[in-house]
């Protein structure tokens, strides 16, 4: 990999489930990855089988000779991360950055599990090593599966600017990316964007049920709810206008929308409910990180 960009980088993907598979598909379509080794016990998804750029291996100790990844992407479930990580310790080196997409696993936990470089202090000295593994922790969300994800990332002090740019390119292949300096912000990030798609899906369910209660056939109510939320989301995506202004544009004084918003925006309406929901999710994120 050149310092100037991510094109043609070499990747090791640990975990090729829904998120890992979606990201890999995005990297291949964008031409970012020239060579990808995948560790996935259940095998490759059908869409990736036969792709000459992708090789399935049983673990990091089974990598092809001379395979030195620019990035090790950790996409296994958080519950098994601590069990999986020690096998990757031998890949810690100045030229490799570890990029995690697992919720709730802190940079400190990765640093503890990966330890110092396999090259050791005697080979490079601590100043050259940068005190161990270069680690980027990120929180993507499920719309990454269609290239419309939102990811927030933070790196430890070992991560170089070139490695940050590389990780940014990998994450940007499946959606938008924001970087923060304070890792603790990933708890509310998880609560807003990480868990957020579930809130939107729940809203669709609730709108459909409300439509049924108002007299609509169930199938039509769900069709209306799905299309309305999807269309409104796309309008928001394409428009430079603030969400509040878009809301006001569709709200006629004393009209039907205003009547509904008077309920939703009341003191006991949607805002305090979402405040409590996001606070609960952020609290749970902090608990899972312990």
72 and 117 belong to one structural domain: yes
Q: Which of these three, 141, 172, 188, is where a domain ends?
A: 188
Q: pTM of this prediction?
A: 0.86
Residue 202 lies in a domain: yes
Establish if 1 belongs to a structural domain: no
- Both 121 and 244 in one domain: the answer is no
What are 72's strand-pairing partners?
Answer: 12, 98
- Alpha carbons 225 and 231: distance in angstroms, whole number: 10
Q: What is the pLDDT of residues 241-270, one digit of tens each?
A: 999 999 999 999 999 999 999 999 999 999
Same domain, 81 and 168: yes
Last-in-domain residue among 142, 167, 188: 188
Domain region containing 83: 9-188
Q: In the beta sheet, which residues pair with residue 151? A: 177
151, 169, 188: which is the final residue of a domain?
A: 188
- Domain of 55, CATH number, reads 3.40.50.720
Q: What is the pLDDT of residue 7?
A: 61
Claim to verify: residue 202 and residue 231 sit in the same structural domain: yes
- Position 274 scores a pLDDT of 97
Q: Which helix (H) or strand (E) holds 149?
A: strand 149-155
How many structural domains does the chain have?
2
Examine the domain organization and report whether 79 and 221 are in the same domain: no
Q: 134 and 59, same structural domain?
A: yes
Quick check: is 74 in a domain?
yes
CATH classification of the domain holding 278: 1.10.3730.10
Q: What is the pLDDT of residues 15-52, one digit of tens each?
A: 988 888 888 888 888 888 778 999 988 888 777 787 87
Q: Taking the mean position of all CA atoms in its chain, how far away is CA 204?
A: 23
In sequence order, which residues have a C-beta less than 8 Å from that of residue 276 and are 6 or more positions away?
A: none
Are 108 and 66 within one domain?
yes
- The confidence score (pLDDT) of residue 131 equals 64
Asked if residue 16 and residue 58 are part of one domain, the reply reads: yes
What's the CA gap between 170 and 69, in Å, rounded?
A: 14
């Amino acid at each position: 990999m050149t310092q100037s960009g991510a094109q043609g980088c070499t990747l090791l993907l640990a975990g090729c489930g829904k998120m890992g598979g979606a990201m890999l598909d995005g990297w291949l379509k964008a031409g970012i990855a020239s060579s990808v080794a995948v560790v996935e016990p259940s095998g490759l998804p059908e869409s990736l089988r036969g792709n000459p750029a992708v090789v399935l291996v049983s673990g990091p100790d089974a990598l092809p000779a001379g395979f030195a990844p620019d990035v090790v992407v950790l996409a296994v479930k958080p519950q098994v991360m601590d069990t999986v990580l020690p096998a990757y310790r031998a890949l810690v080196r100045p030229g490799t950055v570890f990029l995690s997409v697992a919720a709730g696993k802190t940079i400190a936990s990765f640093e503890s599990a990966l330890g110092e470089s396999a090259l050791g202090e005697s080979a490079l000295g601590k100043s050259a090593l940068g005190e161990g593994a270069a680690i980027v922790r990120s929180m993507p969300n499920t719309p990454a599966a269609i290239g419309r994800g939102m990811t927030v990332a933070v790196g430890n002090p070992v991560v170089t600017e070139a490695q940050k740019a590389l990780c940014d390119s990998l994450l940007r292949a499946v959606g938008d990316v924001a970087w923060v300096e304070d890792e603790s912000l990933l708890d509310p990030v998880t609560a807003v964007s990480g868990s957020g798609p579930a809130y939107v899906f729940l809203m669709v369910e609730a709108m459909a049920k409300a439509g049924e209660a108002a007299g609509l056939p169930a199938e039509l109510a769900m069709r209306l709810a799905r299309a309305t939320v999807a269309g409104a989301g796309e309008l928001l995506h394409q428009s430079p206008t603030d969400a509040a202004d878009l809301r006001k544009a569709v709200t006629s004084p004393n009209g039907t929308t205003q009547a509904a918003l008077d309920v939703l925006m009341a003191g006991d309406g949607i805002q305090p409910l979402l405040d409590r929901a996001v606070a609960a999710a952020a609290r749970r994120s902090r608990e899972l990180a312990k």
